[in-house]
Amino acid sequence: MNSEHLIVTDMGIDTHQEPVVYMRDDCHVCRAEGFDASSRVQLKAGGKTLIATLNVVDKKSFPRNHVGLSRIALTRLQVTSGAKVFIGHAPVVTSLHTLRKKIYGHALSDKEIGAIISDISEHRYSDIEIASFLSICAGSRLNTDEIIGLTRAMVEHGKRLSWPGNQQVFDKHSVGGLPGNRTSPLVVAIVSSAGLTIPKTSSRAITSPAGTADTMETLTNVNLPLADIQRVVSETGGCLVWGGGINLSPADDVLIRIERALNLDGEGQLIASVLSKKIAAGSTHAIIDIPVGDTAKVRTQADADRLAGLFTQVGNACGIHVRCIISDGSRPVGAGIGPVEEARDMLDVLQCFPHAPQDLRERALTLSAHLLDLAQQCGLESALQQATDILDSGRAWAQFQRIAEAQGGLKALPKARYHIIEKAHHSGTLQTIDNRKLARLAKLAGAPVDPAAGLRLHVNVGAYVDAGDPLFTLYAESPGEREYALSYYVENRDIFQIGGHNE
Amino acid sequence: MNSEHLIVTDMGIDTHQEPVVYMRDDCHVCRAEGFDASSRVQLKAGGKTLIATLNVVDKKSFPRNHVGLSRIALTRLQVTSGAKVFIGHAPVVTSLHTLRKKIYGHALSDKEIGAIISDISEHRYSDIEIASFLSICAGSRLNTDEIIGLTRAMVEHGKRLSWPGNQQVFDKHSVGGLPGNRTSPLVVAIVSSAGLTIPKTSSRAITSPAGTADTMETLTNVNLPLADIQRVVSETGGCLVWGGGINLSPADDVLIRIERALNLDGEGQLIASVLSKKIAAGSTHAIIDIPVGDTAKVRTQADADRLAGLFTQVGNACGIHVRCIISDGSRPVGAGIGPVEEARDMLDVLQCFPHAPQDLRERALTLSAHLLDLAQQCGLESALQQATDILDSGRAWAQFQRIAEAQGGLKALPKARYHIIEKAHHSGTLQTIDNRKLARLAKLAGAPVDPAAGLRLHVNVGAYVDAGDPLFTLYAESPGEREYALSYYVENRDIFQIGGHNE
């Protein structure tokens, strides 16, 4: 660490999550330390440390003894313009060497995984190092012990919530890949009505057009501090909040950001991510919904069984009771895809409107029944009846509103600025919808960054369609995104297959 | 692509090789297109296209209808301040989807690999996408067909040199991991004296303290344009130039940069990188030296045999005759590590000085003999005698000087600004030296970025050492790097094992 300090300049540059430091090409500290553009450097200020990537700038950028910091660098180092910082080479990040071991086929030990997760939670890895770690461990490249090690390490480096007075705490997760499969808010409303404690924390979308947190955020406040979450749960038995705001699993948040940028996944990362967050949230029991289908995330029954087995095994090793439910993943659920459109479907189901999507209703009831059965050991049939009564009687809708009020109030749903209705070109039975491409289409339209963007299906698989009938409506907030999504649709006519033809 | 243009501002920021574009947070184009910080965007100007990462900046950074470009962005798009550019979303880079296929255990087809390499050569992949591709294919994760496919794709997307009037063109490569193993310049001098055509292009260091190009650059100009290279070869039969300057294999240059940042390698990438460059350079025959040892790159005889087999097989499939030589990789070669120190050793061998490192001399003669045998089919014994005569008679030294003159003149070697002599703490036989850690030590001292940085061994494995004898001298150009290297040495006393003790 160089003994001369430099003065911080706010560059006014948003480099997203990767901190960048800017030094003048004639900076004497730069020369003394032997830095060059793309060096990894370490900054110290007031007891805080930050590792960042160096960019080198022209002399005219700021005065001689200054150093520029990007927005995230200022935030992480907790400094503003004018502060004094010290700068030196970034220390060698030793856990990186164990990645080589993994590349050459050796399983990582608990200690090695712990060191990697520790470094990642402390922001010592650059984005390409995180990308490398994730890619090395992607697919099925982590064995069961490694997945257990990864889960435990992520729990160790995050928070641990507790719910005093509650011996059993329930949770739910859907593996995803099924557009519109927005069951969590319905399940939480139903089972908390029955007296179960279900403090549901959810993520924003990773690679999909909406996450539960994105969808709930269109209806109420989801970004609650821990004390408020605890208040909501003690008042209502449940909550529907964003987990990222309470930093349950900081390593997971870092990994998810890069997974999102790379559109990358892997069973080890999935299991560790899901279970570490459930354990961190203080849950004792969890239902994992695994939809299976040609264009869902999990493609075959065999893959689903394998994943279910791993989830249960890792859950046992880490102290959480896991029950996996394998469901149909062959077609989108509901009609809306994207935060606002999915919220619309949820409200329709809760209020038992006749036009509410029946498939979404049935899935929510099934999952709720499994949770009730886990809690009461009453058998699935009795549990399903109980869940149905709660929904049909209006108690679930009342409970949902109570939870939303406790979180800050129920909001009205907005409508997107632009929309366009796409019609069928052929007549016939709608035979298949490509879930993955449909999700991509909704994302290109702007979901979830624009909550009201996405699409609404007017038909689903199995329906008979006449040429000229509306297939779906696309919603977007900018002409650029609308056109971008449409050009993708035009190039991907196989999203909908009608009467044996691509659309 | 948005139809409104923006005016380029040179941000004066060096973002190394990853182009960055800066837009104001209130920029109307930014809003219309739906961009946010870290979006991938595409710029168009005068027929050129560039994909870059977006950073968002404060309004005060530049005028309203402007867009900032980092140095590499300006270079790649071939624009300067004031130019008009158009900006839109980066097109979906479809070859990225095949990476998922590879993650899930499916081999990549020639066509898929071709598409990936095409996109990488055209700079469409972000650094994290390249990191992901490399990590997915690292270790032994590419099968033989994929390695052949990768080699062919890299040849296809690079240059192809030819040497009219030369039916046989010779080349050489050492797999590396052995500090100080700088044989190429010696081999080129010896065999071109014997009339072989050996237009040797070399790289700069990837993960080592010096590459052949770094070492040669301390003695002469290595950055020659193609026409000059052809002149040097027609005048002397050989050359010792930097391959990166003539862009033989653009995809390889991109991959190497990220491999370097991640300290990552893999047999598939190694073979494809080496052979694609040899083929691009127009070589018909190549010797590949594979040093084997506990702390070399290749650890066991079995690994070496496997690698040698793959090299030969892939070479055959791609039209180049490859002969692999497995050599001893248990200890550093010569005494110098780092560009200038290795150049010193080379000059000592060429001039047949008594203090010249004999191990370096012998390796150079052996490799030269193999090349002479490939060319003349005369048998190894005869070839070795021929090579020895050429060296001892001074013809190799005369030839080396002739080549250096043709390339621009022979330079005097500099000395580093700072040095420190480390002495032995124990007495006894020097039993082992950890090659990998020794190389890292030289790098921390500043090699190869500072050509005169590195170290010079005063003893090698097998020698008897008294406590207090000099072990090595460390060279650095800044106090920061000297201290940084020393603190690594202090924490890694097992680099040298003397009389059964760590140093």
Sheet containing strand A470-476, edge to edge, reads: A336-337, A454-457, A470-476, A418-423
Provide the angle, in degrees to the nearest 10, between the axes of the packed helices B110-121 and B144-156: 40
Q: Does A13 touch chain B (CB under 8 A)?
A: yes
- In this prediction, residue B170 carries a pLDDT of 97
- Whole-angstrom distance between the N-terminal and C-terminal Cα of chain A? 63
- In this prediction, residue B180 carries a pLDDT of 85
CA separation for the pair B280, A409 (Å, rounded): 67
Q: Does B1 touch chain A (CB under 8 A)?
A: no
E-strand spans in A255-312?
285-292
3-state secondary structure B151-190: HHHHHHCCCCCCCCCCCCCEEEEECCCCCCCCCHHHHHHH
- In this prediction, residue A495 carries a pLDDT of 93
CA separation for the pair B45, B82 (Å, rounded): 12
CB contact under 8 A, B480 and A89: yes
State residue A287 phi and psi, 5-degree precision.
-100, 130
| B14 belongs to the catalytic site | no
Average the pLDDT over B117-140 and give the result: 92
Name every chain A residue with its beta carbon within 8 A of the beta carbon of B100: 263-264
**Using an 8 Å Cβ cutoff, are B135 and A103 in contact?**
yes
Q: Which of B2, B4, B10, B13 should we substitute to test contact with A (largest number of A Cβ atoms within 10 Å)?
A: B13
- Give A 481-500 residues with CB within 8 A of chain B: 481, 484, 488
Name every chain B residue with its beta carbon within 8 A of the beta carbon of A131: 128-129, 131-132, 135
pLDDT for A67-79, tens place per residue? 999 999 999 999 9
- Give B 20-49 residues with CB within 8 A of chain A: 22, 25, 31-34, 36-38
Cα angle: A64, vertex A69, A74; to 5 degrees:
135
How far away is chain B from the Cα of A41, in angstroms, using its nearest Cα?
Answer: 13
CB contact under 8 A, B12 and A60: yes
- In this prediction, residue A34 carries a pLDDT of 67
Q: Which of A27, A262, A297, A481 should we substitute to test contact with B (largest number of B Cβ atoms within 10 Å)?
A: A262
> Given pLDDT bands bounded at 50, 70 and 90, which one contains residue B100?
confident
Per DSSP, the three-state class of B320 is: coil
pLDDT mean by block of 10 residues, chain A; 503 residues: 86 90 86 74 94 90 92 95 93 88 89 96 92 90 95 92 90 86 96 97 84 96 94 96 84 88 86 94 96 87 95 96 94 93 97 96 97 96 98 98 98 95 93 89 91 95 93 94 90 89 82
Of B103, B131, B480, the CB nearest to A138: B103
CA separation for the pair A380, A372 (Å, rounded): 8
Q: Does B89 touch chain A (CB under 8 A)?
A: yes
- Give A 400-439 residues with CB within 8 A of chain B: none
Burial state string for B353-392 with b = 16 or more CB within 10 A and e = fewer than 16: eeebbebbbebbbbbbbbbbbbbeeeeeeebbebbbebbe
CB contact under 8 A, B55 and A13: yes
- In this prediction, residue B34 carries a pLDDT of 67
Q: Does A1 touch chain B (CB under 8 A)?
A: no
CA separation for the pair A139, B136 (Å, rounded): 10
Cα angle: A272, vertex A275, A278; to 5 degrees:
145
- In this prediction, residue A472 carries a pLDDT of 96
pLDDT for B29-40, tens place per residue? 877 676 777 788
CB contact under 8 A, A104 and B140: yes
- In this prediction, residue A60 carries a pLDDT of 85
How far away is chain B from the Cα of A32, in angstroms, using its nearest Cα?
Answer: 6
Sign for the pseudo-dihedral over CA of B288, B293, B297, B298: positive
Q: Does A83 touch chain B (CB under 8 A)?
A: no
Following DSSP, what letter does each residue of A86-141 receive, concatenated? EEEEPPP-GGGHHHHHHHTTPPPPHHHHHHHHHHHHTT-S-HHHHHHHHHHT-BT-
Residue A106's Cβ-count burial label (10 Å; 0-12, 13-18, 19+) is exposed
Name every chain A residue with its beta carbon within 8 A of the beta carbon of B262: 128-129, 132
Name every chain A residue with its beta carbon within 8 A of the beta carbon of B105: 139-140
DSSP A414: P
| Catalytic residue list of A | 265
Per DSSP, the three-state class of B25 is: coil
Residue with tokens 């992949």: B125
- In this prediction, residue A235 carries a pLDDT of 95
CB contact under 8 A, B104 and A139: yes
Name every chain A residue with its beta carbon within 8 A of the beta carbon of B34: 446, 449-450, 477-478, 480-481
CB contact under 8 A, B103 and A484: no
Of A11, A22, A128, the CB nearest to B261: A128
How far away is chain B from the Cα of A503, in angstroms, using its nearest Cα?
Answer: 21
For the cut 80, the answer to whether the pLDDT of residue B93 exceeds it is yes
Q: Does B261 touch chain A (CB under 8 A)?
A: yes
How far away is chain B from the Cα of A258, in angstroms, using its nearest Cα?
Answer: 8
Q: How many CB atoms lie within 10 A of CB A321?
A: 15
3-state secondary structure B388-452: HHHHHCCHHHHHHHHHHHHHCCCCCCCCCCEEEEEECCCCEEEEEECHHHHHHHHHHCCCCCCCC
Average the pLDDT over B307-324 and give the result: 96
- In this prediction, residue A228 carries a pLDDT of 95
Name every chain B residue with its beta carbon within 8 A of the beta carbon of A32: 478-480
**Using an 8 Å Cβ cutoff, are A227 and A133 in contact?**
no
**Using an 8 Å Cβ cutoff, are B474 and B486 in contact?**
yes
| A172: β partners | A287
**Average pLDDT value for chain B:** 92
pLDDT for A443-458, tens place per residue? 889 999 899 999 999 9
CA separation for the pair B96, B447 (Å, rounded): 35
Name every chain B residue with its beta carbon within 8 A of the beta carbon of A488: 92
Q: Does B450 touch chain A (CB under 8 A)?
A: yes
**Chain B residue whose CA is closest to A477:** B34
Name every chain B residue with its beta carbon within 8 A of the beta carbon of A36: 449
Name every chain A residue with its beta carbon within 8 A of the beta carbon of B134: 132
Q: Which amino acid is at A328?
A: D
Residue with tokens 């987990």: A243
- In this prediction, residue A275 carries a pLDDT of 96
- In this prediction, residue A503 carries a pLDDT of 81
What domains are there in chain B, each with its CATH number?
5-89 (2.40.40.20), 170-243+276-406 (3.40.1030.10), 418-502 (3.90.1170.30)
- In this prediction, residue B266 carries a pLDDT of 85
- In this prediction, residue A330 carries a pLDDT of 86
Q: Give ipTM to 2 decimals.
A: 0.82
Question: For the ranges A35-39, B10-14, B455-459, which has the lowest average pLDDT?
Answer: A35-39
For the cut 90, the answer to whether the pLDDT of residue B140 exceeds it is no
Q: Does B369 touch chain A (CB under 8 A)?
A: no
Residues 6+ apart with CB under 8 A from B98: B108, B112, B115, B116
**Using an 8 Å Cβ cutoff, are B277 and B248 in contact?**
yes
DSSP A410: P
How far away is chain A from the Cα of B317, in angstroms, using its nearest Cα?
Answer: 26
**Using an 8 Å Cβ cutoff, are A135 and A264 in contact?**
yes
CA separation for the pair A364, A375 (Å, rounded): 17
Of A128, A479, A488, the CB nearest to B131: A128
Beta carbon pairs, A and B, within 8 Å: 159
